[in-house]
Every structure is written in C-alpha cells, then in structure tokens.
Structure 1
C-alpha cells in the first residue's frame, strides 16, 4: 500500500534512541534542551520550548497569553479539531471562520473581520497543508483589531518566516508530520517573558525540574503558577535531533513531488483542481486535491485502494463534528463545507519517487473515467 504519509526512520534514529537508553536518563533533560536550541536555530528564533504535542503547545500559548472565559478566538473550521479544542481548554469560545476559496483554502480575512466582536481577543492562523498564510495582511488585521495573532504551524516546520507572524507559533511532530518524534510539539514565541511562562507551565509551574534538582543537589522546589504535564522526554528529543538534520532535504523532496503532481494533473487529469498557485511558500505537508463536481468521492477512494493507494480527507469541518455541532448548531460555513465534500488527500512523503506520483495520477484518472466517459468531465 502506498501510504498518504510515512515517517522516514533509520539507523540514525535507532542510534539516537539507543544512546538515550544507555544513558539511563529518559525524562526531560539535556537532549530536550539541545533539541529546543536546534529547532530555534533552524527558524532563526531566539529559543523554543519543546512540549508533548502541538495540542499542548496551542493550549500553553493561549493559557500564557491570558485568554480565558468570556473571550472569543477566531479559528478556521478547516483544521484538525485540536485547534478549536485548545480554545475550549482555557474556557474561551472558538468562533469558526470560513476559508477564502477552494483555490486558497486558508482562513478568510473578510469573514474573520465580519465575525470580530468586542469579545474577540485572538486569532489562530492555520498554515493548511504547509501553505503559509499572508503574513502582512494578517498582521495588519490583528493590529487594527487589537488581536493576539497565533500560528498553528503543525504543517509547516522548517519554513522561513514561520513563527514570525505574531505572539507565538505551535508545531507538531506527530508520526505523519514532515519530521516526527512520534508524539511531540514545540513553541516559538517572540517574547522571552512569554516563553518562560510557557516553559514553567509545561511542567506543573515548578521552579525546577528533576534534572536540575539532581545537578544542584537540592530537593526543594516551588510552584508559582498553574501548570500542566506537557513535557517532552529525552527519547523524543533524541528522535527530533536526528530528524531535524534531514528536514530541509525532506521538505525539498516534498516540493519536487508536489511539482510533479501538478504537472501530471495538468496533462492527464485537468478536471482535478490542485489548491494554491505555484510557487506558493509551502512545506508541502500534504497533497490535497479537489475532485470534479458530481464525483462520488467514496468510489474514488475505493478504486484507488484496490490499486494499493491510500487516500484520506483533510479535514471534516470541525463545526460539523458532533461535539461542535451540538455546541454551535447555527454555524454554517458554505465554502469550507463545499471544499470538504470534494477534497481528497493523496500520498506525499519523502519515501516516494516521481514514479509513485505517476502511479497515483494514472490511477486517479482511471477512477474518475470509470464514472465519466472521455470528454464528459469539463
């Protein structure tokens, strides 16, 4: 089966994990700190904070910024549910914003403006599929409205300018991301004070960690703020250090494969629309396409699976998931809903070759042709 996403794991990762096990220290320690500094350097940031997941990162950012009950946060519905969940975690209300269009399925500035109220305190931008939102436009909007700007950069590690939009950015290292630590995340924050608040809150608000107490030979500590157990461990940090070295090369491979997809679709399958005009700054996390109107998507999925090709959907709109539909039954987002009905995510990862891309495009063309005679699809 040609998978939608597949982590690249090899001898470097095995050696890194073995070294941690041999050291006898597996909880948060020196490797976590090394990873934080290396991740920050890659993004030309002063520092970063490693955490247990991107969800934890988003929660910590909102918590440290003081977002809470009575506040509203603008979020896209075309995202993973964690983006909205993190807003509920701090007691605030997520306000769902439509995408701009199927061609550019990022959060709409116009709809965001229309949904601002006196209670709106922040906006979470999602760099969907690894394609970066327009920084200047969103910074101008945030300044004009007095909003805190946060990036959900789960899809965009290693990209220039990521982490520079606003107050902070959250990254994901889940198993299907551009680089992985199995589970894990990181935060880049502009303010040192904000970073240190986040750093403290990820570990129960304690004034010292286990490693520090061992080094300093003092067993005492204090708790100064409300905190959580959102730490990264040494095993994941070791994986991250090994993966981080390869991230630029992997992102370039993703870019080349995405270019091949676009060229082959134009030649063999022009009825399939590929969002975002090239060249759009992107980490090319996933390969989303929009199927022709009238296509029964499940048939296409089934036909591709029979040919050994996995596909998936990014994403079921968050506001249409049962939990959120029950919370906000009046929410409708026509462009997001229409995009979600027709979107299909195709395989894209560094383990693929251009021959794999050709196989996918040929199979998709055949799957569509089974329903539409030659020339019937405009």
Structure 2
C-alpha cells in the first residue's frame, strides 16, 4: 500500500494546458498586438459556431458578460430581478451594479437544485423585469419552461451559463442573453475571460459597443487606418478581452466537447461507485440529465459534520469544496435586502460537498476519492454511512 505522504494530491479542478497554449501565447507576443484584435474576433466566431448561435461577444470575465447581459435586456434602477441564491455571488452583484434589486428564489429540490418556477412565480411584483437562471454544476435548465415563464410575465430571460460552456443545444438557445466563463477552474480556460451571447441583433451590437467605452472605432481600426477618430455614444465599460486570452481560447475551444464527454464519463463512474459504496450520499440530477459536467456535487447524509469530513479528505490529499454559500446569507445582502428564508437552498448548501472532477482524472482516481470519502465519513462518525468495499483501481489514470 502506498504511504499517504507519497500519494499525489487529487485536485478539485485542473486546467489542461500544454505546448499548444505556450506556442499560441508566443505567437501573440511575436506579432506585437496585445489588445483586442483579430484573435478575439475569431474566438467569438468559433464559440458562436460551436453553440449554434449567430454571434458572440468576448469579454474579460463572466461577471462583465452578466453585467452587459442585464444592460442588453434593459434592466436598470428600480427594477427587480429574480435570481438564484445557490450560485456565485456575481449573479446577484451585477443586479445591484445595475441599480436593481436581486430577489432570491429557492431551488426546486435537493435532487434538482435549479431555480424553482413555483417560487419564482410567488415572488413576482410589478417591478420584476427579468429572471436569471443558472445551469448549476453544468446541468442544463429547462429552457422551454423558463421561456414560457418569461413570456407569460413579460420578463427578460438571462442565463448565467458560467458552468455550461460546450453544451450546444441546451444553453444559449432560448434566453435573451447568456453569459459564459473561462476562469481557470472552468471546463475550458483563458485564465480570466468570458463570453456573452445576445439573441436580439440590435441589443447584441449595442452590448458589443458598450464593451469598449461605447467608442465607435476600435484601437485596431485606428491603428490600421480604417477609421480616423471616434465618437462616444453611451456610458460604456472597459470589458475587452485581450489577444493573449483569445489565443488560449482558440486552442482550448476545439477540445471542449471532448473534455466535457470525459467529465460525463467520470461523473458516471462517481454515480456508480457512490450508489454501491455510499448509497446515503446522493448525486443531484438524474444520470441522463444533459450536462457539461462542470462540478461533481454530492449530498452528504443529514447530520454529517462536513467540515470534519473535508478536513479528513484534505489530510488524505484529496481536495474538496462547497458550491455555494447561499448569497442571501452573506452580510451585505442581509443588511441591504433583509433576511430571506430559502429552506431548500439552505438544506442543499448545508449538505453539499464538491468532489474532484476534471479531464486529468482517471477512473481509478475516482475510486480513490470515493474510498477517501468513505473513510472520512467513518472516521467522523457520520450517521448511516455503512460502506461496502470500493472496487479495485482501474489501470487508466489520466487524459490529455
């Protein structure tokens, strides 16, 4: 048996980077044009083609994509926007930045941690102008249902698709605007970076203009002599993506679907082992649910000391995390918008533990994670977690 000190750490997430990415960055440096240019435009077009949409707008983060999305659909001061609390804080903070009020909505259930249509309907007011849905962990939302909900109530539909890049046919298809993330822990990465898809062509071009200070000519246009001078037609932002990030994106994007398929395979392995070894630990969503498999969330048995379990797993060199602390519980949101009770969201958070998932893992790594979780639950005295033996490791370990 390998001593614990000699075991490699199984990371929660790990970007796949190599010589192709290095070469792409070298080429940008050799070209000498670092700011938004031809590579950014090619990345936008390639991303749009992969997802089956007309066009896309590259920006420097998913947060800026969300901020532009709200602007594109007309959210402004005095409005209310229905948002999940089970999300990264940016989903709500961009609403505040727009001068609007985030209205937190509960999830459907622990097995379906998406925004609840019923609870969203109950929280509508005359000031509600938009709803933001989020494909949690990369699992697609029911787009047709949310499109009907938005249309029935005269709302804009915005999709925080930070977890769901590379899920064509299930994201960016029915929303008025969809925002994607290329942060370093996402399914593909440009280090920082994001992409915005806007359905309406006029709103899309308005968002593209706002990305760079609402200037009517870009730096590249002026450098090439295609435009002389410029006008400023609105209060814009500096949300531009640079050529270095776009170069990374152009290398990563062609491999995204393959990486997502591997993530789904590994998720299936987790489901099988957990059902066999730790049946009281549930993986949300049905196995056939369309997903980019960004995260592997597990619900621990009620009464488990999650902090103690995570500490034991960290000592065994397996990283874990929690996705997410509910936004409505954060001090800023409680003090500004009052206490909100979201019973299902709170229960989900209190039991959720995120296990490692990325293309560099192999099925045998999944077996080690499950064994480590089983040991940690036994050591910490978690209730009702009797285990069976985890199957022997499989030979394959990594993927490129």
TM interval, shorter chain, is: over 0.9
1:127-163 alpha-carbon deviations (Å, 9 max, x no partner): 0000011111111111111110010000000102210
Q: Say if 2:174 is the partner of 1:200.
A: no
Change (3 A) 1:372 1:229: same
Q: Say if 2:253 is the partner of 1:244.
A: yes
Residue 11 of structure 1 aligns with which residue? 19
Q: Say if 2:369 is the partner of 1:360.
A: yes
Change (3 A) 1:288 1:218: same
Q: Distance in 1 between matches of 2:249 and 2:330?
A: 32
Q: Say if 2:284 is the partner of 1:275.
A: yes
Residue 23 of structure 1 aligns with which residue? 31
Partner-residue secondary structure (3-state), 2:308? helix
Partner-residue secondary structure (3-state), 1:75? strand
Q: TM-score, normalised by structure 1?
A: 0.98
Deviation, 1:165, is: 2.0
Partner-residue secondary structure (3-state), 1:345? strand
Q: Say if 2:202 is the partner of 1:190.
A: no
Residue 94 of structure 1 aligns with which residue? 102
1:39-66 alpha-carbon deviations (Å, 9 max, x no partner): 0000011110000100000101111222
Partner-residue secondary structure (3-state), 1:118? coil
Match of 1:117 among 115, 118, 125: 125
Match of 2:304 among 275, 295, 299: 295
Q: Say if 2:61 is the partner of 1:61.
A: no
Residue 149 of structure 1 aligns with which residue? 157
Change (3 A) 1:153 1:374: closer
1:94-151 alpha-carbon deviations (Å, 9 max, x no partner): 0000001101011000000000111000000000000011111111111111110010
Q: Distance in 2 between matches of 1:321 and 1:98?
A: 16
Q: Distance in 2 between matches of 1:158 and 1:85?
A: 25
1:206-242 alpha-carbon deviations (Å, 9 max, x no partner): 0011101112354410001110000000000000000
Q: Considering only aligned residues, what root-mean-square deviation do their CA atoms show, in Å?
A: 1.3
| Aligned residue pairs, count | 378
Q: Distance in 2 between matches of 1:376 and 1:16?
A: 49
Residue 313 of structure 1 aligns with which residue? 322
Gapped runs of 5+ residues in structure 2?
1-8, 388-400
Deviation, 1:376, is: 6.2
Is the Cα contact below 8 Å between 1:125 and 1:151 reproduced in 2?
Answer: yes
Partner-residue secondary structure (3-state), 1:208? coil
Residue 266 of structure 1 aligns with which residue? 275
Is the Cα contact below 8 Å between 1:150 and 1:165 reproduced in 2?
Answer: no
Aligned 1:27-66 pairs, distance under 5 A: 27-66=35-74
Q: Say if 2:339 is the partner of 1:330.
A: yes
Q: Distance in 2 between matches of 1:114 and 1:247?
A: 38
